[in-house]
Structure 1
Amino acid sequence: MEVETVKGVDTMEFGAGDREERARREVSLVRLVFSCMVAGGVQYGWALQLSLLTPYVQTLGLPHALSSIMWLCGPIAGFLVQPTVGLWSDRCYSKFGRRRPFILVGCLLISTAVLIIGFSSDIGFALGDTKEHCSVYTGPRWKAAIVYVAGFWVLDLSNNAVQGPARALMADLAGPEKVNAANAIFCSWMAAGNILGYSSGASGKWHKWFPFLNTKACCAACANLKGAFLIAVIFLLCCVAVTLIVAQEEPLEKKPGMKEENTGFLDMLKDIFGAFKSLPPGMPYVLLVTAVTWLSWFPFILYDTDWMGREIYHGNPDGTAAERDAYDRGVREGAFGLLLNSVVLGISSFLIEPLCRKLTPRVVWVISNFSVFAAMAGISIVSKWSVDGYNGSIQQAINASPKVRAVALFIFTALGFPLAVLFSVPFAVTAQLAAKAGRGQGLCTGVLNIFIVLPQVIIALGAGPWDALFGKGNLPAFALAAAFAFICGFVGIFLLPKLSRSSFRSSSMAGMH
């Protein structure tokens, strides 16, 4: 869920500069649409990852208190991989173009990681986890868990490796004249990928449609995940093929005698951390509010479908067959809620700019944080309501209370609007402050990214133990998230800089997951 930070390269310094400028002027809207298609393929896999993987790893034996730690890879990859790959792609002289080689290799690695995750139970079974059938075995499967976590980390690293070059390719093709349209197209593909991915995760029919996915080591829930990820691989490969064919990048040609800049990773980090010394006025407060905002959001990103399976459907991934079935139903219901969330996110992304022009970015950001507070507090209340109304009946667990389900789905859906704000306004505010101060926009965005990554690390390390400390499932993490969102709302009122309505530009928005 991070934005790339690269040192900009002026392509006009290279022999291909004139050709690129002509291509930008001539690029059609249709070509932009298909060139951005890879965003939909990558986001399809992200949606499956966000909705299914935290619940699934618990069925392999990883305790709930430790399941959040595997998400540490995302922040680490966002901090290290995206800037590095982005910088390398800026200076790539391949005859296939600057961005396309990295997009292709990254998508192939994503496909490999997805297959590893999907078949982790079968691999663990082959390595000797157990000889019992999955329908009767309820113990841990540590070899499968290790394979799964390894695949998960490769997937996160690969996703981050593709994001930077894919966004840079969009900007290369569009140029300043069409960057607004390109951003809208890119975000639309991401929304489409989310909708398709969450729809796939919400389906419980993959093991019926493709019965060969059921094995001695992989029963219905596992086979459903395997089927969804196999479709994700096919969809991603189709999307990347279209992007690579349609984009038609011009390779860079270095002028004779031109001196190359140092592109070392340490030099890049030096530039980013050096930016702390010359931040634009108001930027420290933006960083503070961004960090607290992510502290309030990341518990939901980690535990949304797990919450639906445990607190709403009263399931248990380590329990009896009936409890596991109830948990699986809840996870699929949570994926459906995220599907509705993505629809609202896609619609809201087109409303953020006019709202910021009318109310100012600061007011929109503050409203968003108070909306998150209301949602997280609502999740805590619904959890208490659901648990108190549960009498231990297996039938009640399988069906869940219709009223509780309806409220839970409403909260999932309503969070689409503040999520659209989270994915756009902080980056637009940063770009505006950097432009006003005449500072490097890329470096300021890099510093902002650090304050997105650090809260994710804190939550990934602390959310599971925090929940275990109180022994109340996911409720403690969501209650703490509500407190952070409430504090952040008031901090934003008093500390966020006052920015003009007219200078807010949709081209400053950054699409994220």
Structure 2
Amino acid sequence: MKQPTLPFWQVWNVSFGFLGVQLGFALQNANVSRVLSDLGADLHSLSLFWLAAPVMGLLVQPIVGAASDRTWNRLGRRKPFILGGAIAAALGMFLMPNASIFVAFLAPMIFGGMMLALMDGAFNVTMQPFRALVSDMVPNEQRTLGYSIQALLINIGAVIGSILPFVFTNVIGLDNTAPKGEVAQTVTWAFYVGGTALLGTVLWTCFRTKEYSPDDYNRYKNIAPKIVEKLSLTTKLANFWKLFINMPKTMRQLALVQFFSWFSLFIMWVYTGPAITQYIWGVEAKWFDAEFLHSVDVIPADIAAAKGAAGDWVGITFAAYSLFAAIFSVFIARIANRFGRKITYSLSLLAGGIGYISFMLFQNAEVVHVNLLLTEIDIPQGALNLLLPMVGVGIAWAAILAMPYAILSGSLPADKTGVYMGIFNFTIAAPQIVSGLVAGQILKYAFDNQAIYIIALAGVSMILGAIAVYFVQDNSDSTPDERAIQGH
């Protein structure tokens, strides 16, 4: 039986909760380094704290994927995990900026790291079933559309999440400077708003999407009913390992692309803040060193102001690349259908790599007056110019969110989509773990804690990812016309 085509707004509703998830994720990406630095973390140790994120993804997503494949209850198949993860993520968002009040139990920096692990683990619990939900609910001919809508919503959420601290500073008037060992008001309230929005949008998807019953799902996916056997943990692990080593060829080829892409993204999220604070605002690297900070009683007002302004501007730059990604997401399906998914994917990553490297062109500290519609501010010219490379970064981000899944999804067996999507997350988590282990050491010993150079290294890695796309075989989910264009 042919799976029914969904109305556009139903495809939209299936992914709507991802807007809130990404809003929270964007707040994490743009502000966690700032929060941990304010709480006392060394510059070169930031990447080690950030390891909590990919490690949680590595552990959580395959387990959740396999569990959601076997789950059928009153809430549905994927929705129980989506909702549970959203509740846990919101809790982490409410608690993290208040780390300093738990000083009697744990050092604020350690508590902040724990909340980062909780948030990211919960984001992973929520995101993996969302990926599988699109595959479940959207028929093959709408698959690229489904993931493109998901990418669009992701980036709308990212824009909103990224600019929240800036808006709270420059529109509402909250304080963006942080006393020693505390978190700025603007960041705290942004996390409160983000957690609330996350819950609201996920509830929308849960109430507006009715998952297929097991019988309907099996008919639509041409799956013969199976007798569910109770297996021992050893057998389950053996079966999982068998699936892992026998993953589809396309997944193996995409893994190399994913490595270079996500190695770069991890560096961007961890070090953009310190990079532009040092390179454009002129704050010396010593102000990111925990030992030096312990030697001073009070952070000078000009240093605190510069770090606060640069931290807010990181949100604007992240919002910019998310906005450009959202715009590109509207057209990416048509571009891919016209020129081929591999060409689209490769050129997008190339644009991102060039964007990262071009950070080094924008060091002009001359202060200019800028009207940002929401407010008017005075910022260094170099910071304003930094919006230009965000075009390339945004194009790369849109492609990373959509193209691997569009290429991969058709090569997966329908009854194992969830677990394979979870396994595919290894190709996201592993490069981030590698990046987290080595980036801080490279920054300290090769670049003398000058963070702008680690951003340039991210650009080189992204360009290598663009080259690696050439070796990916794309014949999944392609129409005859697409295969003709791609030469398959």
TM class by shorter chain equals 0.7 to 0.9
1:81 maps to what in 2? Answer: 60
**2:443 paired residue among 439, 442, 467:** 467
Q: Secondary structure at the match of 1:415?
A: helix
- Asked if structure 1 preserves the Cα contact closer than 8 Å seen for 2:272 and 2:314, the reply is yes
Q: For 1:178-193, what aligned pairs fall within 5 Å after superposition? A: 179-193=143-157
CA drift at 1:339: 1.0
1:158 maps to what in 2? Answer: 122
Q: Secondary structure at the match of 2:23?
A: helix
**1:286 paired residue among 244, 251, 254:** 254
Give CA deviations for 1:383-412 in whole Å, capped at 9, x if unaligned.
Answer: xx459x99xxxxxxx96531x123312112
How many positions carry a matched residue from both structures?
A: 453
- Asked if structure 2 preserves the Cα contact closer than 8 Å seen for 1:195 and 1:343, the reply is yes
Residues 1:245 and 2:207 aligned together = yes
Distance in structure 1 (CA, Å) of the matches to 2:178 and 2:34 = 20
Give CA deviations for 1:474-495 in whole Å, capped at 9, x if unaligned.
Answer: 13322322333344444545x4
5+ residue gaps, structure 2: 219-224, 294-298, 368-376, 483-488
Distance in structure 2 (CA, Å) of the matches to 1:498 and 1:53 = 37
Q: Secondary structure at the match of 2:41?
A: coil
Give CA deviations for 1:204-254 in whole Å, capped at 9, x if unaligned.
Answer: 43996679x9999887x6211111111112222322332333234567699
Supply the AA of the counterpart residue of 1:122: I
Residues 1:414 and 2:376 aligned together = no
2:277 maps to what in 1? Answer: 309
Distance 1:265 1:214, change over 3 A: farther
Supply the AA of the counterpart residue of 2:40: G
Residues 1:369 and 2:349 aligned together = yes
Residues 1:108 and 2:87 aligned together = yes
Distance 1:214 1:264, change over 3 A: farther
Distance 1:496 1:241, change over 3 A: closer
- Asked if structure 2 preserves the Cα contact closer than 8 Å seen for 1:294 and 1:455, the reply is yes
2:318 maps to what in 1? Answer: 338
**1:36 paired residue among 15, 28, 47:** 15
Distance 1:340 1:249, change over 3 A: same
Deviates more, 1:258-267 or 1:364-373: 258-267
Distance in structure 2 (CA, Å) of the matches to 1:386 and 1:472 = 20
2:453 maps to what in 1? Answer: 476
Q: Secondary structure at the match of 1:65?
A: coil
Residues 1:320 and 2:300 aligned together = yes
Q: For 1:442-457, what aligned pairs fall within 5 Å after superposition? A: 448-457=424-433
2:221 maps to what in 1? Answer: none
Supply the AA of the counterpart residue of 2:302: A
Distance 1:42 1:286, change over 3 A: closer
Distance 1:295 1:187, change over 3 A: closer
- Asked if structure 1 preserves the Cα contact closer than 8 Å seen for 2:62 and 2:420, the reply is no
Q: For 1:465-504, what aligned pairs fall within 5 Å after superposition? A: 465-469=441-445, 470-493=447-470, 495-497=471-473, 502=479
Q: Secondary structure at the match of 1:64?
A: coil
- Asked if structure 2 preserves the Cα contact closer than 8 Å seen for 1:357 and 1:502, the reply is no
1:62 maps to what in 2? Answer: 41
Distance in structure 2 (CA, Å) of the matches to 1:184 and 1:168 = 14
Distance in structure 2 (CA, Å) of the matches to 1:423 and 1:386 = 33
Supply the AA of the counterpart residue of 1:334: V
Residues 1:72 and 2:40 aligned together = no
Supply the AA of the counterpart residue of 1:452: I
Q: Secondary structure at the match of 1:424?
A: helix
2:296 maps to what in 1? Answer: none
Supply the AA of the counterpart residue of 1:146: I
Residues 1:222 and 2:184 aligned together = yes
1:92 maps to what in 2? Answer: 71
Distance 1:504 1:227, change over 3 A: farther
Supply the AA of the counterpart residue of 2:433: V
2:407 maps to what in 1? Answer: 429
Distance in structure 2 (CA, Å) of the matches to 1:28 and 1:427 = 21
- Asked if structure 1 preserves the Cα contact closer than 8 Å seen for 2:97 and 2:188, the reply is yes
Distance 1:261 1:154, change over 3 A: same
- Asked if structure 2 preserves the Cα contact closer than 8 Å seen for 1:343 and 1:416, the reply is yes
Distance in structure 2 (CA, Å) of the matches to 1:350 and 1:35 = 17
Residues 1:48 and 2:10 aligned together = no
- Asked if structure 2 preserves the Cα contact closer than 8 Å seen for 1:41 and 1:235, the reply is yes
Give TM-score, length-normalised by structure 2: 0.79
Residues 1:167 and 2:144 aligned together = no
- Asked if structure 1 preserves the Cα contact closer than 8 Å seen for 2:177 and 2:304, the reply is no
Distance in structure 1 (CA, Å) of the matches to 2:266 and 2:133 = 29
CA drift at 1:175: 4.7
- Asked if structure 2 preserves the Cα contact closer than 8 Å seen for 1:62 and 1:145, the reply is yes
- Asked if structure 2 preserves the Cα contact closer than 8 Å seen for 1:42 and 1:159, the reply is yes
Supply the AA of the counterpart residue of 1:309: T
Give CA deviations for 1:397-448 in whole Å, capped at 9, x if unaligned.
Answer: x96531x12331211233101111222223333346x37x999766765554
Distance 1:216 1:376, change over 3 A: closer
CA drift at 1:377: 1.9
Distance in structure 2 (CA, Å) of the matches to 1:234 and 1:380 = 37
CA drift at 1:202: 2.4
Supply the AA of the counterpart residue of 2:386: A
Q: Secondary structure at the match of 1:98?
A: coil
Distance 1:265 1:224, change over 3 A: farther
CA drift at 1:155: 0.4
Supply the AA of the counterpart residue of 1:186: Q
- Asked if structure 2 preserves the Cα contact closer than 8 Å seen for 1:312 and 1:386, the reply is yes
Deviates more, 1:240-249 or 1:46-55: 240-249
Distance in structure 2 (CA, Å) of the matches to 1:428 and 1:300 = 25
- Asked if structure 1 preserves the Cα contact closer than 8 Å seen for 2:354 and 2:392, the reply is no
Q: CA RMSD in A?
A: 3.9
Give TM-score, length-normalised by structure 1: 0.76
Distance 1:454 1:177, change over 3 A: closer
Supply the AA of the counterpart residue of 1:411: P
- Give aligned-pair identity as a percent: 20
